[in-house]
Structures are given as C-alpha cells and as structure tokens.
Structure 1
Amino acid sequence: MRSTVQRSLITSTVFALVTTLPFSVTHAVADPAPDSRHVPLPDQFTTLKTGSRGMEVHNAKKRLKDLGFPPGNLSPTYDPALRMTVWAFQKANGLKPVDRIDAPTWQALLHPRRVRPLVAGGEPERTEIDLRRQLLTAWRGGKPVLVTHISTGARRPYCEKGHCGFAATPLGDYRVGVRVPGWSTGILGSMFYPVYFNGGIAIHGSTLVPRYPASHGCVRVPLHNALDLYRFLQPGVPVYVRRSEAPAERRPKAHGEQRSRIPKARPPKAPHRSHPHSSRPARSTGHRTGRDGGGRR
C-alpha cells in the first residue's frame, strides 16, 4: 500500500512538471527531439491496462488530452475510450498499438513526436485520413487539434440483405457535405453524428472501431470523438484521404475472431433518435461520388 501511494505521488509530480511547461498541440506527434527515445523513466512508472485505476490513469488521460488525443472523460479508470486513444497515440509515435500504457508509451508521453501532415500545402482547416496507420487528424490554423484512431473500409466484397458492394474508403480530395446530428440507422448499421464527404461515405462515431480496417467504406471513429468532429467538420471543410508510407500494421489475430462478414456497429441500448433520412443517399460536395449511395457504415 505504501509503495502504491509513493508511485502515485511521484507520477503526479512528474506529470505536473511536464504539463505546466509551455506547450502547443503542434508538439503532439512528428520527428522526436535528439535522444528523446533514450530518456530514462522513473522505476515507479507501472504498466496500465484495461481495469487499472488511480492517479496514474488520470494523469495519462490528461497528458493525452493536452497532446491533442482526446481520451473522453478524465476519470481515474482505464476504460475503452482510453484504450482506443492509446492506440492512436502509439501509432502516431511509431509504436505498435497495444492494449496498455507500457514503458515505451510512458516515454513517448513525456517526449512525444510532432504531427506530420499527410498533405503538403493543405488548407489550414482540414481533416486528413491516413488509411495505412488508421489515423484521422483534424487541423485548424495549420495546427493539429484532434488525432484519433479510426477503422476504414475492409477492402473486400460484401453482400448483406441484398445490398452488395466492395468495402473501400477511396483515396482522394473531398469536402464535407451533408451532416446528420445524433444516431442514424440504416441497412448497413448505425452511425453517430455522421458527416458525409464522398457520396454515401461518412466520418461517424461507432460502437465498433477495431484496430484494423473493418467498415463498409465509412470512417469509423470512437464515440467520444464523434461530436467534436461533427462540430469541427462544417460543410466545405476539406477531407484528404491518403495512404502514408509508414509500414502497415498487421491485423491482430484475436481468438475466435470472424472475418467472413464485416461487423456491424450497433447503437447503445439507451434510447436514441433515428434520423428520418438516415437510409437515403447523402450528397457530397467532394470531387468524387461514392459507389454506394445508401451509405457505408
């Protein structure tokens, strides 16, 4: 018990020192400073994982939020929202995404890389989608303000309830079109605050955002980031879809995982509002139109 209290006090002190230094979101993710990978960590830093509780979890959440990786609430519990936020941060810092905050992740939290834009000379206010790393970055004033884990098109044929197509999120330059508040439910699943940018393809919150591409073509984001992105992605904002040159992550081989069908996202059990036009094709002001007018979840 005494050692646990000591660890928490030391961790709090370290993060207090770090977070009180002058900081800008532009320091979130790109080339590391010299020797930053070799900065020794205190022995008191412990591995955090799902179910962990305490001040260390709270401090990690606060640090991620300050760096532009919103973790949802700042409770002292390692919840699913933090799990996906950690994936995003690890991928953005060149680490393999794992279900824990380990020593390399602590080190990256103390000395993060800067965000590197996918599009050179892109508009100051834009959203970039990296299909290879499965990351979305929202930029405002030329600075990254929100980085999140995503799950894009699974890149394979599908046929569900007479609705067939090829699950893909096409590369290209688009602009935000139709935006739908709240929950929408259609043939291919449910979407939370969908923002259409390419025909029936949208950026939307989902209850199912695995570490690998798994959607019918849409860009799934964790629920806790959906509303912020909806507010940011006003009509006409550019959406750039690219594939970075970073090595692709391998899909996890979870026990009993089925890949014969593209998993559908479902809304929470709490009552929700279905939009009357959720099953209708959404128009886009982008440069291309989606091959699937019914919307791809």
Structure 2
Amino acid sequence: MSRGRRRAAAGMVVCAALAAGVVGCSLQADELAAQSPTHSSAGSTSATGSGSSSTSSSGSASTAGSDRSGTGAEDTAEGEGTETAAGQDGASAEGAGTADEPLQPGDSGPEVRDLQRQLSDLGYWLGTADGTYGHSTAQAVLALQKSAGLDRDGVAGEATLEALAEGTLPPLQGGPADRVEIDLDRQVLQVVADGERVLVLNTSTGSNEYFTSDGYTRAAVTPPGTFAVDRVYDGVHTGPLGSLYRPRYFNQGIAVHGAPSIPGYPASHGCARVSNAAMDMLWAQDHLPMGGTVVVH
C-alpha cells in the first residue's frame, strides 16, 4: 500500500505485522508449520516434528544424525550504553519518512526500500530490501528501537529515524571472535564474526513470570553466562513446553529458535525467540554452529 493510499485508510491497524506476544517459549506446532517451510537433511533420523537432531556432549562440531529431545528452560541480567556508527554508508535517514507520516507495516515504495537499505547497512537484518514494510522490516525496526531505548512499536517515526541517522547500535559484551550475544536488557541478539558485529536481531527471552510444567513451578528466566551450542534440531521440535522452530540449544533446554511472535518485551519460558525467517538465515549462514559460543548478558 502506498503512503497516499494509507492516508485514505486511516483506520488500519498500525502493527498488523507484529503479532501479539504469547507468554512462554512454547508454540503450537501447527502454527509454526503454517508459517514456516519444511526442512530436512539427507540421512537424518526422523523424530517428532519431522526434523533432524545433532548432539555433542563436548560442545565440539559434529554432523547431524543423532536423535535427542529437549525442553524449554530458565534468569536475567542487564546491559548498559549505546553505540553509534555515524559515517557508515546509508547512515542518513533523510527521505525515509517524516514526523507527520511515519513509515509503518503495510507501506511500500522507494521510501520503504531506502529505510530497509539503511537498516541493513547498520546490520539490522531484514532479508531483502524489497520496498515492502513487512514482518522482517518491522522486526529490524524493533531491534533498532530497543538498541536506542525508544518505545517499541515497530513503526519508523521521527525518533526512530533519528536513531537510524545516528547509526545507533547496541553495545557488545565481548568474548571470542566468533560468537552470538543475547542482550537481556535490550532484548536483542547480535552475531559477531571475526571480531566484527555482522547482524542485529530482535529477540524475546524469558518473561520472568512463573509457570508450572510437569508438576513443578518455576520462573521463566534466561540465565546469563557463556555457553556453547550442544544440540541442534532441523525442524519443529516438540517438547513439554510446546514446539520450537529449528532450535539450537546452548544451555540444557534453552535454545535460540524461530517463532511467529517476537514481541518488544520478554515473553518466553527462557529461550531466545527470533523470527522464523531470521532462524532460517542463522541456519543457512551457520552462525550458531555446534560448539559455537553464546554469551548471555
């Protein structure tokens, strides 16, 4: 929809591309399957959710093929500071939107494409800059808003565009040259390769609410610390707390996994949710390999 046509449809829901957050890491398998492609690997062992699982007790790299189940699990920490990347290509947000008429889900056209390119230049992943303000673009805007400490609505308004123009990025905690960082305070996930930040994603971690599973009541928290990926599952993995899309486990039952709903606040049982499209990208680029480092802070 063009911006002009959107004016005529002033009653449309602004955040149609942002599904309401469902408290908990668990998701229904049919909901995931309806929104995600089916994945399989040659020679893999079939399991619940039709996927392949790979495990390693030592945390070292291994090939997929062994079958193992996992569950969702649980703490929180905080971070400080904000970085900027002024001077990078595409850092100017001029022409991407105005205070009177912000860009938002459902928009399309050259201004949206310009916004997408600027977000991508900074590392906020959204897939292809196709000129359509869809779910992935809204997720990238949410990640920027979280990094800048702004209201989290997925709409590129004046303050968001100013943060984009300033090249705002979340700080890095530090660690091995190749790692994934999960910032519990800002609710963003960052991919670092060869010591350089390459991607920033919107994420949703433990809600800090209490829940009961298998007769035990516990808090939905994501513990801080440094961990290694020790299990992966290429498919929809169903456990006691529900279904996880292509999970990569790094702390017992806690994983980075895909989900159709990644709100602007902590909403899981302890896992780190990202969009299904982002999870596909992480698999394709192998950013969470077996034995890979995950820093939660």
TM-score category of the 2 structures, normalised to the smaller one: 0.5 to 0.7
Query: Structure 1 CA distance, aligned partners of 2:127 and 2:236?
Result: 19
CA contact (8 A) 2:143 2:188 kept: yes
Alignment RMSD (CA, Å)? 2.6
SS in 1 for 2:168: coil
In structure 2, the residue matched to 1:169 is 222
How many residues matched?
Answer: 210
In structure 1, the residue matched to 2:293 is 238
For structure 1, list consecutive stretches of 5 or more residues without a partner in the other structure.
5-28, 243-297
Normalising by structure 2, what TM-score? 0.64
CA distances 1:32-81 after superposition (whole Å, capped 9, x unpaired): 659xxxx9956974411121121111221122122211113433221122
CA distances 1:241-260 after superposition (whole Å, capped 9, x unpaired): 11xxxxxxxxxxxxxxxxxx
Q: CA deviation at 1:217?
A: 0.8
**Are 1:137 and 2:165 counterparts?**
no
Of residues 196, 199, 205, the one that matches 2:252 is 199
CA distances 1:187-235 after superposition (whole Å, capped 9, x unpaired): 3222111010000100011112111111111111111211222321111
Q: CA deviation at 1:115?
A: 4.5
SS in 1 for 2:138: helix
SS in 2 for 1:232: coil
Of residues 107, 127, 144, the one that matches 2:162 is 107
For structure 2, list consecutive stretches of 5 or more residues without a partner in the other structure.
5-81
**Are 1:180 and 2:221 counterparts?**
no
Query: Which deviates more from structure 2 when the two are superposed, residues 145-154 or residues 73-82?
Result: 73-82
Of residues 150, 156, 159, the one that matches 2:203 is 150
Structure 1 residues 69 and 40: alpha-carbon distance in aligned structure 2, compared to 1, 3 A threshold? closer
CA distances 1:256-291 after superposition (whole Å, capped 9, x unpaired): xxxxxxxxxxxxxxxxxxxxxxxxxxxxxxxxxxxx
In structure 2, the residue matched to 1:281 is none
Query: Structure 2 CA distance, aligned partners of 1:201 and 1:240?
Result: 13
CA contact (8 A) 2:93 2:118 kept: no
Query: Structure 2 CA distance, aligned partners of 1:113 and 1:78?
Result: 20
Counterpart code for 2:142: W
SS in 2 for 1:221: strand
